Structures are given as structure tokens and as C-alpha cells.
Amino acid sequence: MWLNIVWYILFVIIISGYLILDGFDLGVGILHLSLAKTDHERRILLNSIGPIWDGNEVWLVVGGGVLFAAFPLVYASLFSGFYIAMMLILLVLILRTVAIEFRSKRAGHAWRFIWDLTFFLSSLLIALLFGVAFGNIISGVPLDAQQNIYTSFLGLLSPFTLLVGITTVAMMAMHGGIFLTMKVEGLILARVKRLLPKLMIIFFLLNTLVVLGVVIGLPFATANYISSVTLAIFPAIALAALVASWRLVQTENYFKAFLASSTMIALLMFSGAISLYPNLLISTIDPAYNLTIFNGAAAPNSLMIMLIIALIGMPFVLAYTAGVYYIFRGKVELTAESY
């Protein structure tokens, strides 16, 4: 049983890593049209994530791989039930990649505006769709005894799941804005600093509504917190990290503000994981059909082999990621090779 818990924690860590790393470059895309007023400024925003955006998406692939290998029954139910939504996510991921790569291949205003708009819309949709998916996981899905999810794409859209989706958009926009404080200067930096307090307030209000929705409408999601009040330290520190990031931006400690924002995202993810534990998919038909980290997991020997491979491979992934960020640190400077 301890292997199941370890892999649950590792899965949450990996998804948190994706939300932190790809979250800020999605946030840059969401802010792309509102912050950058000229072609030069839009190139600066693109090149703030240019060397790292594709590496950030590796964490999503790793997360999918872990779900497939460690919790195969959950993977099968989730990806079949959310098939249309997942295909839509893949489509916008592809469009976003094409927009980044094609945008500066020609100098025409119409050409570049089309790809700027595509970059913005695809970044927005990715954040929204992931948020809606997470909202469905928290609130539960129509999972039957054969572990099939019977719902349409429109069936995934409810007031609560849409609220979680919009909150995710606001969170990533805020996180991306904090990242940009480390990468831009002059007028763009001034705009970011004026916008960030508004984004933080919007995110705080939306996230508060999500919490109220969970407390009022989803009692099963608060059971673990009621049984052990000390677990509330996770969302409490997340709130403190949000306040700290606001203060650090005001005092121009941008790197520390980014670390605080990243901490907040990770703690919110862990707060959600605690509310779900031990479930991975909650059935709205019958709680007996829930898929948990125990009945939806791979065999113990598979989990052990995977853990050994992970312990060997993860340090290399972390070292590579840290090295890339170190090499491309500092403010953006456009060159002939830039996007």
C-alpha cells in the first residue's frame, strides 16, 4: 500500500511541476495581446519563453505517462470519458506550438496578428480546459460499475467546473505576469506591475468562490480536512504565499515573488489532492464505483520497478531543467535568431 501512496504523491508533484512551469508560459500567452502593444514588444514576450516553453510541456507528458503506468484503470476511464475534451486540448496545444514557430517567419502585419491571436486563444483555452477537467475530477463524474464514464462534452460543463476553469486562467495569467517581471524592462514592466495587483485580486476572489463551492456543494471533498484539521495548513500557507508574492512584486524582489507564486500553485494542488484522497475518480452514480489509488493502480511489482527507474531518472530531469533556466536567466535581448 505504501507504493500506491508514494506514486500518488509523485503524481501530484509532477502535475504541480507542470502547472508551475508550463503555467507561466501559458500565462504569458494569455497576457500576450494586452501587455504588448507593438511588434517589438510582442517579440520580447515570445522570447521570454522561447528557450524553455517546449521543455515545460515535457512535464505534462511525464504526468500522462505516470498516470498510464501507475494507475492504468484511472487512465483508461479518464481518457475515454474525456475523449473529446482531450482531443481539443491536443488541438490547441498543436496550434499554440505552430503559432510560436510561425509567427515571425514573415513580416506582414496581418500574418503576425493572426498568429498572435492564435497564441493568445490557444493559451487561454488550454488553461480553461485543464481547469474544467480538474473541476470535474473534484466534483465527480458519472462512472459506472464497468469503470466507464458516460457523458458528453457539454456534460462536462457545469457552473462549478466552469468556475474552476476561469480560476485556472486567472491563476496562470497572474503566474505568467510574475514571471515576466524577471524578463522584461521599461514600458512592458510598468504595465505588468500595474496589472498584477488586479490579477491577484481577481484570482483571490475566484479561488474563494471555488472553495465556497466545494464546502457547500461537495461535502465528500472536505471530509479529510474535517477528520484532520491540521491538513488545513496547506491551503493556509498557499494563501500566505499569494500575499507574499504580491508584497515581493511591490518591493521588486521578482525572483522571490515567482518562487512564492510557484509555492502557492504547488500547495493548492496538494490541497486538492488531500480533498480527493484516496480517490482519483469519484463516481456520481455510486461511491462504490470510485477509482482510488488502490483499486485503480498497477501491480505492486510494476510500481516498484517504476519507482527505481524514477529515482534514477528524475535527478537528471531536474538537473537539466535547472541548467536550462540558469543559462537563459536575465532580461530578454532580441537577436537575429529570436522568434
Name beta bridge partners: 281. 291
- Residue 183 pLDDT class (50, 70, 90 cuts): very high
Question: pLDDT of 20-35, one tens digit each?
Answer: 999 999 999 999 999 9
Residues 195-214 have a mean pLDDT of: 96
Question: pLDDT of 275-322, one tens digit each?
Answer: 999 999 999 999 999 999 999 999 999 999 999 999 998 888 888 888
Residue 337 pLDDT greater than 80, yes or no: no
Question: pLDDT of 111-136, one tens digit each?
Answer: 999 999 999 999 999 999 999 999 99
Residue 336 pLDDT greater than 80, yes or no: no
Residue 335 pLDDT greater than 80, yes or no: no
CB burial of residue 142 (10 Å; 0-12, 13-18, 19+) = middle
**3-state secondary structure (DSSP) of residue 106:** coil
pLDDT at 182: 94
Helices 109-139, 83-102: axis angle to 10 degrees equals 150
For residues 174 and 203, give the distance between their C-alpha atoms in angstroms, rounded to a whole number. 8
pLDDT at 225: 92
Residue 191 pLDDT greater than 80, yes or no: yes
pLDDT at 175: 97
pLDDT at 329: 85
Phi/psi class of residue 106: alpha, beta or left (left: φ > 0; alpha: ψ in -120 to 50)?
Answer: beta
**3-state secondary structure (DSSP) of residue 37:** coil
Q: Which set of grid coordinates corresponds to residue 157?
A: 460543463
pLDDT at 262: 97
pLDDT at 150: 86
Report which secondary-structure segment, H or E, holds 55.
Answer: helix 53-56
Question: pLDDT of 243-252, one tens digit each?
Answer: 999 999 999 9
Residue 50 pLDDT greater than 90, yes or no: no
Q: What are phi and psi of 143, to 5 degrees?
A: -95, 125
